Amino acid sequence: MLTQEIKEMASDIRDKLIETRRALHMQPELAFEEIKTSRLIAEYLKQINIETTEGVAKTGVVGLIRGSKPGKTLAIRADMDALPITEENCCDYKSTIDGKMHACGHDAHITCLLGAAEILNNLKDRLSGNIKLIFQPAEEGVGGALPMIEEGVMENPKVDACIAAHVWPEVPAGKIAVKHGAIMASPDDFEIIIKGKGGHGAMPHAVIDPIVIGCQVVNALQTIASRKVNPLKPVVISVCSFHSGTCTNVIPDTAVIKGTARTLDRDLRNSIAGLIEEIIAGIVHSMGGEYEFNFKYLYPPTINDTTITDLLVHSTSKVIGQENVLWAEDPSMGGEDFAFFAEKAPSTFFRLGCGNVAKGLVYPIHNARFDVDEDCITVGASVFAQFAVDYLSEEM
């Protein structure tokens, strides 16, 4: 009965949601600059009389729906920021800002959560417990989740479980994909400065060449995945930047190497920096150089709780049909700062299908031609709403 109401409400607000998503799409804002975005979110929530707090972790917005009876609290999170990409689509809701684009679909995430908020607010007289609506800034690299948690978003009322979604063009619109356990990796960064002794390119015996040392380090780093770590536990170490020297006949003093180290396992993650430094120290010292090594821990791996994920499968099957709930075969080695919420409370992070080959919506996220099939918005809104209703009424 409730499921039918949720579906009807989602379809009633469909046009409003698409209009909202397009407005967001046209005014993309980067991490911690989501001023207009947060204003739009707050206005939407206030218009439907939802208790709203602005300015959480600078540009974040938090809404709270209190059910008529006490109970558990579920948090639903949407990220808000855009990317520094110039959009190459020619739709009439194209980004109006050169060099900025919602190329990761966070405009759709915001809209799904606004839709769920409106549906759940209409049902609040029949709910026991609360729904916290977390609109989080700065997912792309900078990280808005942790500052929101530090400002107390998981307390008052204390959050018992969390859920979030990411649009996924490889999954057709109308479907979602779920997974137990690890779904996203830890995307940590490192920087290595190799310090040698520069000199004339004609006299290599009189110098300590940081480029030759650096090349050995880059190659040897690949033995971490192939020879140091259990092959059944994924690890990616990619050197993505190597800068040194300025001309053809001068051996430089230093070389700077930068890259990313990723895993799906919390313990393994804690050992990676040590394994990298062991290799650097061995090679650099054996060749007479010095080094500086900086490892930056960004986000933990995102680990889905089995019980919460199973409940999501159950809820989603009711609202979009069991045939539209897929099990994701593999996690992604991409990162996601929803991981911080998932460390605080049992959580699940699912993939919201947004692809449509017939409509030409086939481009990957972070591509200048990425766009979503907007059918995914009412799907996301009704999945969130149904899950919230089921979670709050379930004994767990």
Query: By CB under 5 A, which span of 96-104, 232-240, 280-288, 314-322 interacts with Zn ion?
Result: 96-104
Residue whose Cβ sits closest to Zn ion:
104
Nearest distance in Å: CB 118, Zn ion:
23
DSSP letter for 144, please: S
- Told to judge if 374 belongs to the known catalytic residues of this protein, a careful annotator would answer yes
From the candidates 299, 336, 343, 391, give the one annotated as an active-site residue: 299
Q: Quick one: 210 or 335, whose CB is closer to Zn ion?
A: 335
| Other beta carbons less than 10 A from residue 289's beta carbon | 22
Query: By CB under 5 A, which span of 54-62, 70-78, 99-107, 118-126 interacts with Zn ion?
Result: 99-107
From the candidates 29, 44, 374, 391, give the one annotated as an active-site residue: 374
Cα angle for residues 101, 102, 104 (degrees, 5° grid): 125
Query: By CB under 5 A, which span of 104-112, 204-212, 232-240, 299-307 interacts with Zn ion?
Result: 104-112
At 51, list the tokens.
């208790």
Nearest distance in Å: CB 367, Zn ion:
11
Q: Quick one: 146 or 251, whose CB is closer to Zn ion?
A: 146
Helices (H), the chain: 2-12, 14-26, 35-47, 106-122, 145-150, 210-223, 266-286, 306-320, 338-344, 375-393
Instruction: Give the binding-site size for Zn ion (rule: CB under 5 A).
Output: 1
208 binds Zn ion (CB under 5 A): no
DSSP-based three-state secondary structure for 218: helix
Query: By CB under 5 A, which span of 2-10, 97-105, 152-160, 267-275 interacts with Zn ion?
Result: 97-105
Q: For the window 261-300, what string marks contact with Zn ion as x by the rule CB under 5 A?
A: ----------------------------------------
Using alpha carbons, select from 113, 134, 111, 121 the residue that is nearest to residue 59.
134
Q: Quick one: 107 or 305, whose CB is closer to Zn ion?
A: 107
Task: Find how far residue 83's CA is from the centre of its chain.
Answer: 13
Q: Quick one: 104 or 110, whose CB is closer to Zn ion?
A: 104
- Told to judge if 278 belongs to the known catalytic residues of this protein, a careful annotator would answer no
352 and 165 Cβ atoms separated by less than 8 Å: yes
The single residue among 56, 65, 82, 104 that binds Zn ion, judged by CB under 5 A, is 104
Q: Quick one: 104 or 372, whose CB is closer to Zn ion?
A: 104
Nearest distance in Å: CB 279, Zn ion:
30
Nearest distance in Å: CB 356, Zn ion:
19
Nearest distance in Å: CB 108, Zn ion:
10
| Owner of token pair 């356990």 | 181
DSSP 299-335: -PPEEE-HHHHHHHHHHHHHHH-GGGEEEPSS-EEEE
Catalytic positions, please? 299, 374
Residues engaged in binding Zn ion (CB under 5 A): 104
